[in-house]
Chain A
Amino acid sequence: MATATSEVDVSRVQPNRNRAINIAPTERLFSLLGGGLLAVYGLRRSAWAAIPVTLAGAALLYRGATGHSRIYERLGVNAARPEESPLDVTASVTIRRPVEDVYRLWRDFEGLPRLMPHLHTVEHVGDNRHHWVAQLPAMGRVVEWDTQIIEERPNELLHWRTLPESPMDMAWTVAFKPAPGDRGTEVRVKAEHRITSGPQLVVAKAMHPVSMQMLKEGVRRSKRLLETGEMPTIEGQPAARAA
């Protein structure tokens, strides 16, 4: 994402060294649970020996709650790092077609439902603006939003963003470049959530694995459509079970 990832690169620089989260979410959870158990166990014992247990429990609790480990800091470890941008969704693929063909497919917004079946329609409403209607898997709810193309460099980059009245605040970037050794075209897609708090954030986090898979499949479908002209399928084939 060399063309559009300056924000991500910046976030990789550790801000606020002393307080930064450097423990992975799962480990934080175990720190909280384990620390809580140890602290309760220690407090219910009256013996002097229970004091170190209680203190250890309290330390773990603190570690879990703040997400910061001083030991990790000293060691230069940042276990939280892979989770730094938990909302961004990225996918990439190499397509054995000239960059012009690949760009044309992605620039055709109205055709994107072929790549992402959760999209019902995408409609051009003028002035580089599009109206999107989608149904999210497992939620059943129809969602609509509007976007505007912010940047368009033919055969290189497409960048579009939601307009303010949309139910979410997101930006998409699709970057194209010729693959080395005559292998076709590399495509990198990134969907960014630009929210930092509130119920939208909770929903975006909960949806993250689904969003990730949808984008990966969309990118894969663009390759399959361009290379073979069809989507491989087994839907409708026989089997000895109820359809």
Chain B
Amino acid sequence: MKAVCWFDAEDVRVETVPDPKILNPHDAIVKVTRAAICGSDLHLYGGYIPTMRAGDILGHESMGEVVEVGSEVRNLKVGDRVVIPFTISCGQCEYCQRGEYSLCDNSNPNAWIPEKAYGYTPAGIYGYSHMMGGYAGGQAEYVRVPFADSGPLKVPAELSDEQVLFLSDIFPTGYEAAENCDIEPGDMVAVWGCGPVGQFAIQSALMLGAERVIAIDRVQARLDMVKQYSDGRTDVLNFETVDVFDALKEMTGGRGPDACIDAVGMEAHPSGLSGWYDRAKQAVMLETDRPTALREIIQACAKGGTVSIAGVYGGLADKIPLGAAFNKSLTLRMGQTHVQRYMPRLLEMIERGEIDPSFVITHRMRLEEAPLGYQLFRNKQDGCVKVTLEP
């Protein structure tokens, strides 16, 4: 089959590889009908995530048709149309039972690696380095789905691939980021980063009752998208032309936003001296993450407010203003998304027509064009916000 494979930083190619096989009794094989490139794939593309191996198959946002099931699979049968959550979760451990699927104890075959780095291992993830299990990803014609009874969500035929594909990651991720803000009537929510996750965080914050959402980015196409789909309930700030702290203070009557969402993560595009400081430290491996957005968020957040982190961080970040967070009594919430927890209710929202997630798609490509897709998405060229791939 054809698959999008990682070879090195900025070296992604479409290669012919063997078809996946059932390896365990709870496995299923899915014929992929559509996949997408995620913003977090760009961290791999940039070479920022360690333990990738040349030849690894990428992709953790995909969906398709079940073509084979292992001997112990009970909830799926051949022919089912499913969306695959990016988190691989056994469904049996204490964490899965609590609905904390991204913390699954049992799905990472390389648990010992994150145990060295993080103390304990999170769940395995498709196509996201050997530290996260080394599972072959879904930017391919076929993908093997482990623990198939507690992952894939069956979707009705009336909904198109484009409407349901993002249940695999970015819609639940944006939704969980907004839900973690515990939004109350009158709350002002600020969202840093208007990539696909930021777009869904904004939509979710509005659905969860935010008074207004203030969206922050520097890419005009993304800010235009926010305005176009938010019915006048958002304001946008381009951080290259305004001072974000002052503008937010002004827009919130001097209080600051009640909740702030970081949909940027470890590769922020900072300006000024601190930006060069982080780039230099990252380049010589003294720091793995550039937390510029997070620093600004902690400073800008209202007293007693909530900071909700959806953007991916991987290792060590410098100069987090913990004193500001402490003395303003901020609540910090974060983590990989518990995708399976959100999929059913978000599917219902799509079925009821409350949201059509396909609005973020700007580029529809063939699987073979994936290398160009990575390039456009990374460089934000050609108005690129979200790329889907069709095998």
A→B interface (CB under 8 Å): 94, 96, 183-184, 213, 216-217, 220, 223-224, 227-241
Q: Are B107 and A238 in contact (CB under 8 A)?
A: no
Supply 30 A–B pairs (Cβ within 8 Å), ascending by A. Answer: A224-B90, A224-B106, A227-B90, A228-B147, A230-B24, A230-B72, A232-B24, A232-B108, A232-B109, A232-B124, A234-B109, A234-B133, A234-B135, A234-B136, A235-B23, A236-B23, A237-B20, A237-B23, A237-B136, A238-B18, A238-B57, A238-B136, A238-B140, A239-B17, A239-B53, A239-B56, A239-B136, A240-B5, A240-B57, A241-B54
Say if the beta carbon of B144 comes within 8 Å of chain A.
Answer: yes
Contact (Cβ within 8 A) B25 A229: yes
Contact of B134 among A96, A227, A230, A234 (CB under 8 A): A234
- Check A232–B25 contact: CB distance below 8 A: no
Min CB gap B344→A, angstroms: 22
- CB pair B54–A237 under 8 Å, yes or no, is no
Interface residues in B263-309 by Cβ distance below 8 A to A read none
- The interface residues of chain B, by DSSP majority, are classed as loop
- A94: chain B residues within 8 A (beta carbon): 94
Q: Does the CB pair B105–A223 fall under 8 Å?
A: yes
B221 contacts the other chain (Cβ, under 8 Å)? no
Contacts of B21 in A (CB 8 A): 236-237
Name A239's contact: one of B5, B72, B88, B109 (CB within 8 Å). B5
Indicate whether B362 reaches chain A with its CB closer than 8 angstroms.
no
Distance in angstroms between the alpha carbons of A223 and B121 in the assembled complex: 14
Main secondary structure of the interface of A (DSSP, over half): loop
In the assembled complex, which residues on chain A have CB atoms less than 8 Å from the CB atom of B25? 229-230
User: In the assembly, what is the distance between CA of A227 and CA of B329, in Å?
Assistant: 40
Residue of B nearest to A96 (CB): B94
B238 at the interface (CB under 8 A from A): no
Bound-complex Cα distance A216 to B56 (A): 27
Q: When chains A and B are docked, how far (Å) is the Cα of A241 from the Cα of B109?
A: 20
Contact A232 B136 (CB under 8 A): no
What's the least CB distance linking A209 to chain B, in Å? 12
Task: Select from chain A the residue with minimum beta-carbon distance to B14.
Answer: A240
B112 touches A (CB below 8 Å)? yes
Kindly list chain A residues whose C-beta atoms are within 8 Å of the C-beta of B18: 238
Taken residue by residue from 85 to 116, chain B's Cβ proximity to chain A (1 for < 8 Å, 0 otherwise) reads as 00010101110010000000111110110000
CB-based contact A238/B133 at 8 Å: no
A213: chain B residues at CB < 8 Å are 112
In the complex the two chains form, what is the Cα distance from A238 to B17 in whole Å? 6
Apart from A232-B24, A232-B109, A239-B136, list 9 A-B contacts with CB within 8 A. Answer: A227-B93, A230-B72, A232-B133, A233-B24, A237-B21, A238-B136, A240-B3, A240-B5, A240-B15
**Chain B residues with a Cβ closer than 8 Å to the other chain, count:** 43
| In the complex, B151 has a CB within 8 A of chain A | no
Least distance between B51 CB and chain A CB atoms (Å): 13
Among candidates A184, A232, A240, residue contacting B106 with C-beta atoms closer than 8 Å: A232
Asked whether any CB of chain A lies closer than 8 Å to the CB of B26, the reply is yes
CA distance in complex: A232, B133 (Å): 9
Closest chain B CB from A141 CB (angstroms): 24
Residue of B nearest to A234 (CB): B134
Q: Which of B13, B17, B93 contacts A96 (CB 8 A)?
A: B93
Residues of A within 8 A of B88 (CB): 232
Q: Taking A183-B94, A237-B136 as contacts, is the C-beta distance between A232 and B107 under 8 angstroms?
A: yes
Q: Any chain A CB within 8 A of the CB of B122?
A: no
Instruction: Please give me the residue from chain A that is nearest to B13 by CB atom.
Output: A240
A231 vs B54: C-alpha distance when bound (angstroms): 25
Complexed CA–CA distance, A78 and B25 (Å): 51
Q: How far is the CA of A224 from the CA of B90 in the complex (A)?
A: 9
Q: How far is the CA of A222 from the CA of B185 in the complex (A)?
A: 49
Answer whether residue B246 sits at the interface, using C-beta atoms and an 8 A cutoff. no
Q: Does B19 contact A (CB under 8 A)?
A: yes
How far is it, in angstroms, between the C-alpha of A224 and the C-alpha of B111 when the chains are bound?
12
Would you give the shortest CB distance from A150 to chain B, in whole angstroms?
31
Q: How far is it, in angstroms, between the C-alpha of A222 and the C-alpha of B93 when the chains are bound?
A: 13
Q: Is the CB of B55 within 8 A of A227?
A: no
Question: In the docked arrangement, what's the CA distance between A173 and B13, Å?
Answer: 51
B92 with A228: CB separation less than 8 A:
yes
Chain B residues with Cβ below 8 Å from A229 are 25-26, 72
Residues of A within 8 A of B105 (CB): 223, 227
Partner of B144, one of A183, A216, A224, A237: A237
Within 8 A of A (CB), among B138-173: 140, 144, 146-147
Q: 10 closest pairs, A vs B, by CB?
A: A241-B55, A240-B55, A240-B15, A240-B5, A238-B17, A239-B55, A232-B109, A238-B18, A227-B92, A230-B24
Q: How far is the CA of A236 from the CA of B17 in the complex (A)?
A: 12
Q: Is the CB of B92 within 8 A of A96?
A: yes
Minimum Cβ distance to chain B for residue A178 (Å): 14
Q: Which residues of B contact A233 (CB under 8 A)?
A: 23-24, 109
Smallest CB separation, A233 vs chain B (Å):
5
Q: Evaluate whether A240 and B17 lie within 8 angstroms (CB atoms) in the complex, with A94-B94, A96-B92, A216-B112 already known.
A: yes
